[in-house]
Amino acid sequence: MSLSWGELPVGRVLRLAGVNADIDANMLELVLDPLPETGPVLVTYSVAEGDSVSELVESILGELETLAIGLFPGWLPGGERLSGPGGGGVAAARALAIRAASSSRHFGPFLADLADRAIRHRGPLAPGRPAPKGRSFPAEARAAGLARVIASTFDRESVALVIHVPEKPTSHGERVLVAGFEWLAHRSGMGIWLVGPELRNVDTHYLEIPAAVRRLADEMAPPSRRAAVGVPPVAGRPHPGSEVEQAMEAALTECDWAHGRTWNRTYRSRDPLFVMIRTDLMWAREKCVVEIDGPEHETFAQMERDRTRDRHLERDGFTVLRFTNQQVRGDLQGVLRHIHDFLRARRLGMSEGAG
C-alpha cells in the first residue's frame, strides 16, 4: 500500500521502496519543498558502512549535534537575543535552556550543555565539521535529546532521518547498519527511513509520489554530491546551511530600510492548483520576493519550475527579484542597492496611494 509522507510511521526502521537512485533525491526535494504541514521534520543523512554499532551510532549522533548547534537559536526561546559568549552569554544561554526544559519534554542538563556549546560556536553549519566538545552524556540521552531539539526548531512533534544506504554493503556491514538503525529508532523515537538497497529484516513501505513530480525530477540534473546531513529551511530564518543566506542576513541587519523581511516563508497562492510556495526572502507588505539561486537553478527543468512559481507570485501581486549565489558573493552591496531601490519605490507608491 502506498503512503503519503505524513502517514509514514516514526519510532521504527522502514525502507522507502522505489526511492533508490540519485535522481530520486530530486523527487524527495520536490515533494518536501516546502515542508508539508503534517508529519515529522525530515533530515537527510548519507551513511557510511561501519565496523561496529557503537561506531555507527556515534557517527550519526555527532553529525546531529553539529546540526543542532547550527540550528541555534531556533530551538531556544530568547536565544536570538544572546550576542555571544562574552558578557555572560554562556551563563544566560544555560539559564534560558533550563527554563525552557522546565516547561517542555527537554532534558534540562542536556539542553543547557547544548546551548553552552552553541553560544560558543555561533555561525552557519559546516558539514563534516565536528561539534564543539561538551559534557559527556549517555548515547540514549543524546539521541532522545537531539530528536526533541531538531523537532522543536521546526515546531514539529517528531523527526525522521531519511538515510541513504551505501550500495552493496558487506554482510557484516549490513548487520551493523540494521542494528544501529534499530537502536536509534527505539532510543530516540525518530523515524529511520532508508533509501537505497534492500536490507534484511527491514519492512518495506511505498512512498506515494505524484506522477508530475516524477516527470519533473527526471528532467532535472542529477544532484551534486550530498553533504552528510541535510535539513530543510527554518521558517523565519536564513537557511542554516547556506553561507550566502547567512551573509545576506548579516548585511541586512545593518540596514535600517530592511525592516519587515521574513526568510523562508511558506506562502499560500490564490491558485488552488499551486497552493504552497516557499520563498527565500520576502517583504510581505511591499509584495517583494527575493530568490537566491545556486547552480542547481541553471538546469532547464529547474528554470521552468522557477518561472512557474514566479508567475503564480506575480499573479498575486508580487515582484520577484532573483540573484545568483555568485552575485551575492561578488557584489553584495550592489545586490542590496537593487533591493533597497525597489523597496523605496514600492513604499513611495504605497504612500502616495494611501494619500
pLDDT in tens, 306-325: 888 888 888 889 999 999 99
The H or E element spanning position 293 is: strand 288-293
Out of 61-75, 100-114, 122-136, pick the least confident. 122-136
Is domain 243-354 annotated with CATH 1.10.606.20? no
pLDDT of residue 31: 63
Out of 220-224, 252-256, 304-308, pick the least confident. 220-224
Tell me the per-residue pLDDT of 280-296, one tens digit each, with 9 for 90 and over.
999 999 999 999 988 77
Domain ranges of the chain: 2-72+122-230, 243-354
pLDDT higher at 156 or 1: 156
What is the pTM assigned to this prediction?
Answer: 0.75
Kindly report the number of other CB atoms within 10 A of residue 305's CB atom.
16
What value does the mean pLDDT take over residues 256-277? 79
What value does the mean pLDDT take over residues 80-84? 74
Phi then psi for residue 34, to 5 deg, are -80, 165
pLDDT of residue 165: 85
CA distance 23 to 42: 18
What value does the mean pLDDT take over residues 58-62? 93
Query: How confident is residue 9, by pLDDT bands cut at 50, 70 and 90?
Result: confident
pLDDT exceeding 90 applies to what percent of the chain? 43
Picking from 152, 142, 211, 163, the residue whose alpha carbon sits closest to that of residue 48 is 163
pLDDT higher at 195 or 150: 150
What value does the mean pLDDT take over residues 73-101? 84
311's CB contacts (< 8 A; 6+ apart) are none
Query: How confident is residue 12, by pLDDT bands cut at 50, 70 and 90?
Result: very high
C-alpha radius of gyration, the chain, whole number: 21
pLDDT of residue 335: 96
pLDDT of residue 50: 82
Kindly report the number of other CB atoms within 10 A of residue 130's CB atom.
10
CA distance 240 to 255: 21
Query: How confident is residue 17, by pLDDT bands cut at 50, 70 and 90?
Result: confident
Question: Residue 273: pLDDT above 60?
Answer: no
CA distance 176 to 58: 13
pLDDT of residue 21: 46
Alpha carbon of residue 256 to chain centroid: 28
Query: How confident is residue 122, by pLDDT bands cut at 50, 70 and 90?
Result: low
Tell me the per-residue pLDDT of 21-43, one tens digit each, with 9 for 90 and over.
444 556 666 666 666 677 888 88
pLDDT of residue 74: 87
Mean pLDDT (the chain, rounded) = 83
pLDDT of residue 32: 62
What value does the mean pLDDT take over residues 249-276? 83
pLDDT higher at 346 or 237: 346
pLDDT higher at 353 or 70: 70
pLDDT of residue 125: 47
What value does the mean pLDDT take over residues 47-76? 90
Question: Residue 171: pLDDT above 80?
Answer: yes
